[in-house]
Amino acid sequence: MASGKTLRQLIKAGAAGDPAAFRRASETVINEERQKQHHLLANDLEQILYGDKLLPPEQGLSRLLPKVPADKERGLPLLDIRQPRRTIEELILPQASLAAIEELLEEHRCQDLLRSYGMKASGKVIFFGPPGCGKTLTAEVIASELDYPLAIVRLDALVSSYLGETAANLRKVFDFIAQYPMVVLFDEFDALGKDRDDGSEHGELRRVVNAVLQMMDAYHGQSLILAATNHEHILDTAIWRRFDEAVEFPLPSDKLIAQILALKLRGVRREFEIDDKKVSDLFNKLSGADIERIVRRAIKRMILKNQEFLTIRDVKNALDREVKHQSV
């Protein structure tokens, strides 16, 4: 059964005759059923929703938005806009980080109340920590919870080799996201906000950092801006003051490792206990993304070998392959 929140969104969208909102709520139902391992039901619901003639959700979404700005040099779109599919049940973070995300969501759900007191919800938030620890996932979850599209800024298109063109692309992005409410993720933000006092950097990068600071100061649009970095130590000190909140995403503790395994191994028959210290020690100093990848590889091996239970040996073999892959 879909969550109460999702059912309310679904009925509200149907009653209002809003096809875009109805599709978003329906996709959330499908995703929830997949998380419960109800794959046949999820497939049936997808067939009912999309059929053979309906557009994929990303194409349907693009019809509702202004044309995405493009890089003048190569004609590449500056943002990748997608329909968020991940749910908050997938978010496994330290308590302090999770509390910060929940507070952010509450602020945006109660914006009218805050405005009545002359206050506004946090509009610019930076995520920092090692790669694979949930920054991008959290951006998608926030977009899903707020029922907004997720727009990921494409650094490959944004950063130009032409003098002044990167700042011009930034201006296009900020002008665009001010027009329509969405969650906007500037991933690898350190590429735009690197310390200006670093003597190895050239003048163009300093101009880009100055442009970022000015545009963030001047921004008063409807979108929620999220920035993510794996290298917070190289950010310009002035950058931090432009954000309303900073949320850390550290490597998972033993407790969080057990929670990640419980989520990823839900419905999988196994010969070991998830909260066994010997199991959590296998994943010590690995990110959540690493753990998910290892578990997925172990499950695939179990299926292909026609095993009834997942074993510690399967997990260790998958872990060994992951370590070899990362060392290449």
Domain count, the chain: 3
Residues 302 and 179 in one domain: no
Domain boundary among 186, 221, 248: 248
Domain boundary among 215, 248, 281: 248
Residues 19 and 66 in one domain: no
pLDDT score recorded for residue 250: 97
Say which range, 11-25, 46-60, 178-192, 233-247, has the weakest mean pLDDT.
46-60
Residues 321 and 211 in one domain: no
Residues 241 and 93 in one domain: yes
Residues 221 and 323 in one domain: no
Helices (H), the chain: 4-16, 19-35, 39-50, 57-62, 95-109, 111-116, 135-146, 155-158, 165-177, 203-218, 237-240, 254-264, 277-282, 288-304, 312-327
What's the rounded Cα separation, in Å, for the pair 162 and 205?
A: 12
Phi, psi angles (nearest 5°) of residue 183: -100, 125
Range of the domain at 28: 4-54
Tens of pLDDT along 197-230?
665 555 677 888 889 999 999 998 989 999 999 9
**Mean pLDDT of the 263-275 span:** 91
For the chain, how long is the longest CA-to-CA vector? 62
pLDDT score recorded for residue 73: 81
Residues 68 and 50 in one domain: no
Domain boundary among 206, 222, 248: 248
Residues 244 and 217 in one domain: yes
pLDDT score recorded for residue 17: 73
Looking at residue 304, which CATH number applies to its domain? 1.10.8.60
Residues 230 and 132 in one domain: yes
Return the higher-pLDDT residue of 190 and 247: 247
What's the rounded Cα separation, in Å, for the pair 242 and 261?
A: 36
**Mean pLDDT of the 266-288 span:** 91
How does residue 53 score in pLDDT terms, banded at 50, 70 and 90? very low
Residues 40 and 104 in one domain: no
CB 298 within 8 A of CB 310: yes
Tens of pLDDT along 110-133?
999 999 999 999 999 999 999 999
Residues 260 and 168 in one domain: no
Residues 83 and 208 in one domain: yes
User: 281: which residues sit within 8 A by CB, 6+ positions away?
Assistant: none
Residues 237 and 90 in one domain: yes
pLDDT score recorded for residue 297: 94
Q: Please give the mean pLDDT across all residues of the chain.
A: 86
Looking at residue 125, which CATH number applies to its domain? 3.40.50.300
pLDDT score recorded for residue 195: 72
What's the rounded Cα separation, in Å, for the pair 150 and 142?
A: 9
